[in-house]
Amino acid sequence: MKKLSFLVVMAIALMVLAACSSSGESKGNEAAPSAGAEGEKVELTYWYAWGDKIGENNENLVKQFNESQDKIHVTAEFQGTYDELHAKTQAAFAAGNAPEVTQNEIASIGIFAKSGMTQDLTALAENDPDINMDDFNQGLMGNSYVEGKLYGLPYLRSTPILYMNTTMAEEVGLDPAGPKTWEEFQEYAKAFTDEEKGRVGVSMPIDIWFFEAFIAQAGGSTMNEDSTEVTFNSEAGAEAYNLWRDMAKEGTMKLSSGTEAGEKTRQDFVNGHSGMHFASTADLSYLLQLAEEQGFELNTYFWPSGKEAKVPTGGANLVMTSGLEEEKQKAAWEFIKFMTATEQTAYASEFTGYLPSRKSAAESERIQALYEEKPQFKVAVDQLENGVARPMAENYPEIVQILIDELTRGILDESIPTEEVLDNAAEKSSALLE
């Protein structure tokens, strides 16, 4: 979930430039624009992040859209991680050849909207009788609005959840029902840890999304409600960070840093080097596949709760780039509606493990049958009642980098007091906000 700062992203955007020189509730294309004067289709480009099952899902849905009507043709293009996607989008926008539709990771919705790169969708949604905004799960809408205006529709949305190797749990005498509190989580981690086998209780990246989860569980947050000041240097912040430090010190939690940290910790889990794993619900389909290949049972659980049970939401919203001519704007809106419609939402949720962002999709026969067959998919949906929006301050990506750097420093050097780690990060972050 780590984001690049706006200035850093713009610098990358310039380098990319140098190197490179739109629901009906089921189909969403009833009001598609007419083809050009010569009968040509309106051509759109759609950029998306992430590969594997997530990439396949994007390509499959775009193919479905193209085959569902004959007025618009969309070309889907993979652009890497969210950071890479955002940098390339900014570079292309500056060059005047941005994709008509792309993804914004939810914490970056505000940056793109306030910089004028994405289209205000409020009027399009209000004047379209074919879209029911009340059908979107309200727990996912907090990161869709900027200053009261709609800038994105929930698409591939998630919450972080706990994954556990239940085969291993039974081998070490643990209840496969999983840990429900921080205390139980620590007990499970100790039981899984086996130095001789090179196994720890949980392997986890030093990740802002996960820190947001732990601090929320402790009753705090990384920023105040209006995103005007940082609040992670609090009692709740210290409680969350000390949990990490204590478990790392006793050897029951392995914390990894760097760009490959997420993949390293996933491999630890898949290869039996850790009993538990924190990851997005978006990883569910892929992890189930890997667990089957490795011959162990996998189950999913709510994030173990501290004082509270809150968790941040995550994932991406679909956005339209600004400045499109009317014909392309209408076409882009039809594509966005299709991709976020009930049928497509249910398809994406089943295919990847992402949350069904529409109530109608969650209640559909397809999803109910999935939950019956694979209850692991339902955990994140049930946990959504505890979901909270992520901060969208324009400086938040830079604040995240500062905080992650300081958290990492404290993990590597046990002698640095927790208060000093958090206060240093807060002092640097506050300077940015001022």
Work out the average pLDDT over 298-306: 96
Question: What is the pLDDT averaged over residues 293-301?
Answer: 97
Whether 27 has a pLDDT exceeding 50, the answer reads no
C-alpha radius of gyration, the chain, whole number: 22
Mean pLDDT along residues 335-352? 96
Q: Is the pLDDT of residue 341 over 50?
A: yes
pLDDT per residue as tens digits for the range 382-429: 998 888 888 888 888 899 999 999 999 999 999 999 999 999 999 999
What is the helix, strand, coil percentage profile of the chain, to 5? 50, 20, 30
State the average pLDDT over residues 217-225.
94
* 8-12, 55-59, 207-211, range with the lowest pLDDT: 8-12
Least confident segment among 88-92, 245-249, 394-398, 400-404: 394-398
Relative orientation angle of helices 208-217 and 396-412, to the nearest 10 degrees: 80
For 367-385, what is each residue's pLDDT tens digit?
999 999 999 999 998 998 8
Decide: helix, strand or coil at residue 79: coil
Identify the pLDDT of residue 34.
52
Half-sphere exposure of 200 (CA within 13 A, CB side): 19
Q: Are 140 and 388 in contact (CB under 8 A)?
A: no
Average pLDDT over residues 125-129: 95
pLDDT value of residue 387: 87
Q: How many residues does the chain have?
A: 434
Residue 392, class by beta-carbon neighbours within 10 Å (0-12 exposed, 13-18 middle, 19+ buried)?
buried
What's the confidence (pLDDT) of residue 258?
86
pTM surpassing 0.75? yes
Q: What is the mean pLDDT of residues 2-14?
A: 44
**What's residue 25's pLDDT?**
39
pLDDT of 45 > 60? The answer is yes
Q: What percentage of the chain carries pLDDT values higher than 70?
A: 91
Residue 378 CA to residue 248 CA, distance in Å, equals 31
pLDDT on residue 2: 39
Beta bridge partners of 77: 47
- H helix count then E strand count, the chain: 18, 14
Determine the pLDDT at residue 395: 84
Report the DSSP pairing between strands 160-165 and 274-280. antiparallel
Report yes or no: 8 and 17 within 8 Å, Cβ to Cβ: no
Q: According to the model, what pLDDT value does residue 38 have?
A: 56
**What is the average pLDDT value for the chain, to the nearest integer?**
90
Query: In which band, very low, low, confident or very high, does the pLDDT at 64 lie, cut at 50, 70 and 90?
Result: very high
What is the rounded CA–CA span in Å between residue 172 and residue 77?
46
Cα 33 from Cα 72, distance rounded (Å): 8
Residue 10 above 90 pLDDT? no
